[in-house]
Amino acid sequence: MKKSITLLAVFTFLVQFASAQEFEVGTNVINTGIGLGGYYGGYSTSTESPVFSASYERGVWDVPGPGVVSLGGYIGYKRFTYKDITYNYDYSWSYTVLGARGTYHYTGFDIDNLDVYGGVMASMRLYSGDDYNDLDSRPGASAFVGGRWYLTDTVAAFAEAGYGASFITLGASFRF
């Protein structure tokens, strides 16, 4: 029994150090997340859903510094509801955000399971709802910073902070 536990501990240790988790040229990652807050807001008396988002990125070139630049896409969705009790009126609207992202992954840290990055996104915010206000679809831009901690070779937890569809996003990443 003691031998089995020792072998399992040695195997776990070797697997942990045998596979680097850095972002490289050719790396593909899909993120799925839930975000809170954000630039695309509502009235102070409205209720809002979190931002549900998914993004894809692919490492496309090495840059001095050290680092890797990735390019990819983003889709996010957020819904708002406003209820006026005085006039018995309900109003709801939503935004779907479609964007193109460029991200710089800093690879200078010597920490195997960590991927830190920052980037920018150009997007189109697509409005859907009643014609109650002057809300409309429009282009947008945002910046973000984030990090991933790989739990396995292919699965990571991620967190991003930025100004755009949400201020804080937490979720899971899948590398292939």
Which CATH number goes with the domain that contains 56? 2.40.160.20
In a domain? residue 7: no
Spatial distance between the Cα atoms of 159 and 164, rounded to a whole number of angstroms: 15
Name the DSSP letter for residue 37: -
Query: In the prediction, which pLDDT does 89 show?
Result: 81
**Is the model more confident about 15 or about 120?**
120
In a domain? residue 146: yes
In a domain? residue 40: yes
Spatial distance between the Cα atoms of 8 and 15, rounded to a whole number of angstroms: 11
Provide, for the chain, the percentages of residues in helix, strand and coil under a 3-state DSSP scheme, each rounded to the nearest 5: 10, 60, 30
| Length, in residues, of the chain | 176
Task: Tell me: pLDDT of 17 over 60.
Answer: no
CA atoms within a 13 Å half-sphere pointing along the CA-CB vector of 73: 4
Is residue 51 exposed (0-12), middle (13-18) or buried (19+ Cβ within 10 Å)? Answer: buried
Task: Tell me: pLDDT of 152 over 80.
Answer: yes
Query: What is the residue range of 103's domain?
Result: 23-175
Of 91-95, 110-114, 171-175, minimum mean pLDDT range: 91-95
Average pLDDT over residues 2-20: 42
In a domain? residue 4: no
Spatial distance between the Cα atoms of 82 and 69, rounded to a whole number of angstroms: 41
In a domain? residue 5: no
Confidence of residue 86 (pLDDT cuts 50, 70, 90): confident
Residue 148: both structure tokens together: 């991933």
**Is the model more confident about 67 or about 38?**
67
In a domain? residue 150: yes
- Per DSSP (E only), the strands in 136-176 are 138-150, 155-163, 168-175
User: Which of 77, 86, 84 is CA-nearest to residue 43?
Assistant: 84
In a domain? residue 148: yes
* Number of domains into which the chain is organized: 1
In a domain? residue 82: yes
Report the predicted TM-score, pTM, of the whole model to 2 decimal places: 0.80
